[in-house]
Structure 1
Amino acid sequence: MTEAFNAGEPVSTFSPGGTVTLVEGGTFCLSDNTGDIRPGTAQGLFFRDARLMSRWELRLDGDVPHPLSVITPEAFVGRFVARRPPRAGQADSTLLVVRERLIGDGLRETVTLENLSAEATVVTLVLNVDADFQDLFAVKEGRAAQRDADTIVTGAELLLRDRHDGSRGLSVSASADPVVVPGMLSWHAVVPAKGRWSTEIVVQPTLADRRVKPLFHRGQQLESSGPARKIQAWRSASTAVRADDPVLSQVLRRTESDLGALQIHDPSRNGRPFVAAGAPWFMTLFGRDSLLTAWMALPLDVGLGTGTLQTLAELQGKRVDPLTEEEPGRILHELRMGPDNTRVLGGSQYYGSVDATPLFVMLLAECWRWGADEATIRSLLPAADAALSWITEYGDRDGDGFVEYRRATDRGLINQGWKDSFDGVNDAGGRIARAPIALCEVQAYVYAAWLARAELAEASDDTALAERCRANADQLRRRFAEAFWLPDKGWYAVALDGQKTPVDALTSNVAHCLWSGIATDEHAATIIKRLSGDDMDTGYGLRTLAASMGAYNPMSYHNGSVWPHDTAIAVAGLLRYSHLDGAIALAQRLATGLLDAAAAFGGRLPELYCGFARDRFSPPVPYPTSCSPQAWASAAPMLLVRAFLGLDPNVPRRTLTVKPNIPAQWGSLALTELRLGSATVDIHGSGDDANVTGLPGDWTLG
C-alpha cells in the first residue's frame, strides 16, 4: 500500500509507552500514551491529508502527568488516565487526570481533574498548542520542515492559520474561562476535596476560510455524537456475527468497529460509503485496498461494496496522462486532498495500480451475487466494460495476452501490484525484476474478471458477450499455465519480467491464484505442499516470501513479513480447492496462527508483522511502521468466516451454498440477519454441519 513517489518506508510513529491512534473517516489523531502530541515527531491531528495540530501538550504545575492507562472503547474515542506526579516527599498522588478525546471532522477533549484528597488542591493547568499544516506525505516520509502558523487570539479563542497560503486553519476554544495567549491555553483551578474540575476543549478545522462543522457538539453525550451514531447505524445495518471461540469473537467485534470507523461518507458523492485504507498514513480511498476490503466485508453489508464501486467508477480514467498514470478505463490507485498533491502525485488522483482494474470487475459481479440493487449493477456495467478495455488496450502492453506494468515516468511507483515497494518483486536469488512486469496474481484477477463479466452478461441474456468473455478467460488460463508454471520447483513464477523470463521466487502471490481459480487441480495440489512448508508457514500466518529465497528478510515490508489479508486470501484459496489433500488442514492451521497473532495484538490485526518463525519469537514481532487499524487487515477475519462456512450466495438465481469446514477450536459460528436481497437468513455452523433458517421457499440450499 505504499504511495507513489515514496522513497522509503514510513517514519516510525513510535513513542515511549506506545502510540495511540484514533480514527474516524477522514480524521485521525496520533499521540503518546499520555494523550500528548509532541512536536518534532510524526504525531498530530490530521484532517483531509494534512496535519493540523503538531503540538498538544498538557502540563500540571509544569509537569507531565504520569500515565496510568489508555482505554479506546471505539476507534474514534480515547480515554487517557493519568495522575499528577507525587509531591516532593510523598509516595502517592491524590489527583487523578482523565482526558477523554473524541474525533470526527475536528477534536473534542474533556479534561477532568478528580481530587481524592480530604483537602482542596490548587492546580495550574497549561495546554501548549501549535500547528504546522504539513502535507501528510511530508510527515509520513520524515521531511516535515518547521513551518510556522499565524496565530491570533480573539477573546477566549485561539486561531491558527497556515502562513504558506492561508487555505487551512483551525480554532481552539475551551470552557472554564481559560487564559488564552498565542500557543497556549491555561487555567488556575481549585479542585475541592473529594471533588472534580473539568474543561471541554474543541478544535475546529477551517478550509478556504470556512469552518468545518465537527461531528459533535459541545457538552454532547458521547453516544449522541455523530461518530457514535454512525457506528451504531453501521452495526444496525450489518449482519451480526458471533463465535464461541473468545479470541475470534473479540477479533470480529474489533473488525466491525474498525471498519465502521474507517468508512468515509463523502457528501460530495451523495454520502456513498467507502473504506479508507488505514491509519495513520492511508486515510483515503485506495482502489486495491478499498475493493478487497469491500469484498471481504460482503457478509456484513453489500452497500459498502456498491458505494466503493460507484465512487471508483466516477473517478475512472478518461484520458492518457503520464504524470498521474491515468489511462482510459483504469481504476484509481489513490485519492488525496493534501496541500502538496500536485507536487507529489501530479494531482489529487493517481492511477499507478495494475490490479485495481480487474478487481473492480470482480467485485461488481460479486456484489450482484450478494443481492446488490439490480439498477445499481446495471448502471456500473459501462465502467466494467471500460475496465476490461483497459486490460486489453493498455494493460496488455505487448499483446502477449498478459497484463504488465511499467511506470510512465520516474516519479511513479516502480511496482504496481500489492507488493508495491521498490524491491517487492525479485527472483529466487534475490535479484530485483526488471519492468515491464506481469504478476501472477494480476493474471489471476484478470481471469476472474472475464468470468465475472461473462456471468453478468448471461444475466442480461447477452449470450455473445458471455461467450467472448469465457473464451478470453479460458485462453488466459491455458497460457498462464504454460508461461508461469515452474515444473522443476512446483509453484507459479511470481512474475514474468521484461524479457518474459519467469521470476522464480516462491511467494504468497501464488495463493491468490488459488483464490481466483486460475490454478489447475494438478498445480494446486503441488502448491499446497509448498505453502505447507516451514519456509512459508511461520506459525502466525503465511510469509510473503519463503525463507529459502535470496531476498528473504522477516523484518522487510514485502520480502518475508506476514500480511493478515494475504494469509486470509490464501485460506480462501485453499478452501476453494478443499477437495485436494492437505488443503483444509493447511487452511485451518494458517487461520489458527492468524488468530493467535490477533490475540497477541489485543484483538486487532495490524497491516503486517515480522515473519519470524513462531518457535523463535512468540508472540509475533510487530513491524514498526505498520498501520493499525488497517482496512483489509480488519476485514480479513470476515473472509476467514465466509471461507470456512463455504458461504456462496447467488441472489439473482435464488441459491445459497453453505459447505462448512469450521475449525474445531472455533466451536460454532452464527450469522444472524444476513441480508441477501429481499431475504434475511440466519446461519449456524459447527464443524462440517450448518443450519440455515429464514430462506424463502423458492430458494435452493446447496
Structure 2
Amino acid sequence: MPSPQDRRRREWVDKIPTVHVGNKSIERTLKRSYDDLGALRIEDPAHPERVVVAAGAPWFMTLFGRDSLLASQMALPVDPSLALGTLQTLADRQGKTVDPLTEEEPGKILHEVRLDVSSALSLGGKSTYFGSIDATPLFVIVLGAVSRWGFAADTIQALLPHADRALSWIRDYGDKDGDGFVEYERLNERGLINQGWKDSWDGINFADGSLAEPPIALCEVQAYVYAAYIARAWMAYEAGDVSLAAELTERAERLKQQFNERFWLPERGYYAIALDSKKRPVDACASNMGHCLWCGIVDTDKAPFVAERLMSPEMFSGWGVRTLASNMGAYNPVSYHNGSVWPHDNAIIAAGLIRYGFVAEAQQIATALLEAAEPSFGRLPELFCGFSRKQVGKPVPYPTACSPQAWAATSPIHLITSLMGYSAHVSLGSLWMDPALPKSFGDLHIANAPMGQGRITIDVIGDSTTVRGLPESMTFHRGHRPWMTDLVEHAQAHSKERQDD
C-alpha cells in the first residue's frame, strides 16, 4: 500500500499541467523540473494542508526564506498553492523579538528553519535562523504575485498584516543608518558574513578582488525593496486604501532615484554590486544587476548598458551568465559565487532583459541554459562552473551542488513562461501572453494549467497562440501584462482625477 506521502505526490502530479514541446530535449527538461519540484515538496505538520518548497537535496531539505520564495514564485504557473503555502508558513514564523543569537527582529522573514533529519524532514525544528537581508522584501513581492492568481480575498487579506510588518522591518531595522538603503551586518560571530543570495564569505568583492566590509547594501536588495513597495502599493489600491498606496509609491520613487544616483558607475557602464561600510560603490561587475532589471528599478537609459555588460564575453560563458566577470580580481570559474553559473540567477536575468525589451538576449540565455541541462538528462543543478563554452564541450559540474535544488528546478519553468509573456491577473479578469520562443524550441502545448478556479489549455504554434477553457470572467490578451509599476501609475492617475472632480 502506498504511503500517505506517495499518495499525496501522485495527487499533485495529477493536478499539475502537462507539457509537450517540439524540441524533445526541452520537453524532457521541463518534465524533470516537475518531478524535482514534486520531490522537494514538504509539509508543515501544524498545517498538513500547506505544502512548501524545500531548498534542495541532499543538504537543504528544509524551508529557506529566500530560496523557497523565489522557487515558488517561479512555479506559480504550475501550482500557485506552493507559493501561498510558503507565504503562510513563513508568516507564522515571522520575527517577533530582537535576538542577536538568531538575528531575529520584529517583522523579519527567516533565512532557514534548521531541521533534524530524524524528524522526517518535517517543519518541526526548534532552531530558526534569520540572517537573510532579502527574504523580507521578497515575501512582499511574492505576496503581490500570489494576489493576482485568484485566491479568495480573505486568504490574501490575512497575509497583508505580515506584509506590513515586513515593510516596517525594512524601515526600522533593515535601514539602520537611515540613508535610504537596506544593508546587513551579522549580529554574532556565528552568523553569515554575507546575507544576500551570494552568501559565501568571499561573495562580495571589489573589482581588484578585495573584500567589501559590512555593513553592506546590495544592489539587488534595493531592487527587491523597490518592488516590494510597488507590490504593496498595488494591493492597497485594489483594497481602496489610497493613502497607504500613495505613501508606498512615493517611497519607491525616492528609492529608485537614490539607487540610480549612488549605485550607477557611469565610467564602467554597469551598477556596483553594493555599497560598503564607508558607502563606497563596490565596483565588481557581477550578475546581481540582472535582478535589478527584473524588479524595474533600473533607469531606462541605463538598461542597454546593463544588457550589453551581462552578455559580454567576460560575463556570458556560453552556458549562461557568470556570477562574476572573468576580468575581475576575484574571478574563479570553480568558485561558489565568483565566476560560476547559477540557473536561477540566469532565469531572473532573462526575465529582467525581457522587461526592458532585450528579447534576443533573453532567448540566448534561455537556449544556452536549457542546452546545459542535456548532459545531465534534463536536470539543471544548483550551479555549475563558469568555464567558457569554447573551452569545454559541456558544463563542468560543481562538486557539492544540490541536485535537485528548488530554484534550479523551477528555472526552466520561469525561462519558458517569461519568453511566453505568460501572466495572469484574475481580479482584473485578464490573462496575457506574448510568446517570443526561439524557433529551435518548436511548438508548445500545455494542458491542465491552473487559472483562477479552472484549468486551461494553451497552444503556441509558430506565431499563433490559442487558449481554451478560460473562465468566463476572464479575457485573453495578446501582449504583455502591465507591470506592477504601470498598474500603480494608472491607479495613481485615476485617484488624482477623482480628487480633481
1:509 equivalent to 2:284? Answer: no
Q: Distance in 2 between matches of 1:680 and 1:624?
A: 41
Q: Distance in 1 between matches of 2:456 and 2:247?
A: 36
Amino acid at match of 1:538: S
1:519 equivalent to 2:294? Answer: no
Q: Distance in 1 between matches of 2:272 and 2:469?
A: 46
| Secondary structure in 2 matching 1:270 | strand
1:642 alignment counterpart: 417
List alignment gaps of at least 5 residues for structure 2: 120-124, 478-501
Match 1:565 to one of 337, 340, 344: 344
Match 1:443 to one of 222, 226, 246: 222
Q: Which moved more, 1:260-269 or 1:394-403?
A: 260-269
Q: TM-score, normalised by structure 2?
A: 0.92
Could you list the per-position Cα deviations for residues 276-327 of structure 1 after superposition, in whole angstroms to 9, with x for gaps in the alignment? Answer: 1001110100000000010000000110011000000000000000000000
Given that 2:193 and 2:199 are in contact with CA atoms closer than 8 Å, whether structure 1 keeps it comes out as yes
Deviation at 1:696, TM superposition (A): 3.6
1:668 equivalent to 2:443? Answer: yes
Q: Distance in 2 between matches of 1:423 and 1:555?
A: 13
Given that 1:662 and 1:686 are in contact with CA atoms closer than 8 Å, whether structure 2 keeps it comes out as no
1:307 alignment counterpart: 85
1:333 equivalent to 2:108? Answer: no
| Secondary structure in 2 matching 1:555 | coil
Amino acid at match of 1:235: V
Given that 1:287 and 1:331 are in contact with CA atoms closer than 8 Å, whether structure 2 keeps it comes out as yes
Could you list the per-position Cα deviations for residues 551-585 of structure 1 after superposition, in whole angstroms to 9, with x for gaps in the alignment? Answer: 0000000000000111111111111112xxxx212
Q: Distance in 1 between matches of 2:141 and 2:282?
A: 26
1:297 alignment counterpart: 75
Superposition pairs for residues 272-671 of structure 1, below 5 Å?
272-338=50-116, 348-578=127-357, 583-671=358-446
Deviation at 1:482, TM superposition (A): 0.4
Q: What's the Cα RMSD here? A: 1.6
Query: Residues 339 and 538 (structure 1 numbering): CA distance in 2 closer, same or farther, change over 3 Å?
Result: closer
Count of paired positions:
472
Given that 2:15 and 2:448 are in contact with CA atoms closer than 8 Å, whether structure 1 keeps it comes out as no
Query: Residues 366 and 303 (structure 1 numbering): CA distance in 2 closer, same or farther, change over 3 Å?
Result: same
Q: Which moved more, 1:601-610 or 1:325-334?
A: 601-610
Structure showing the higher helix proportion among its residues: 2
Deviation at 1:534, TM superposition (A): 0.8
List alignment gaps of at least 5 residues for structure 1: 1-219
| Secondary structure in 2 matching 1:369 | coil
Match 1:690 to one of 441, 444, 465: 465
Q: Distance in 2 between matches of 1:321 and 1:384?
A: 21
Deviation at 1:541, TM superposition (A): 0.8
Deviation at 1:340, TM superposition (A): 12
1:39 alignment counterpart: none
Deviation at 1:687, TM superposition (A): 4.8
Structure showing the higher strand proportion among its residues: 1
Deviation at 1:231, TM superposition (A): 2.2
Q: Distance in 2 between matches of 1:285 and 1:431?
A: 33
2:490 alignment counterpart: none
2:475 alignment counterpart: 700
Percent same amino acid among aligned pairs?
54
Deviation at 1:227, TM superposition (A): 4.0
Larger Rg: 1
Deviation at 1:614, TM superposition (A): 0.4
Deviation at 1:673, TM superposition (A): 2.2
Given that 1:661 and 1:687 are in contact with CA atoms closer than 8 Å, whether structure 2 keeps it comes out as no
1:255 equivalent to 2:33? Answer: yes
Deviation at 1:275, TM superposition (A): 0.8
Query: Residues 508 and 335 (structure 1 numbering): CA distance in 2 closer, same or farther, change over 3 Å?
Result: same
Deviation at 1:347, TM superposition (A): 5.8
Given that 1:535 and 1:548 are in contact with CA atoms closer than 8 Å, whether structure 2 keeps it comes out as yes
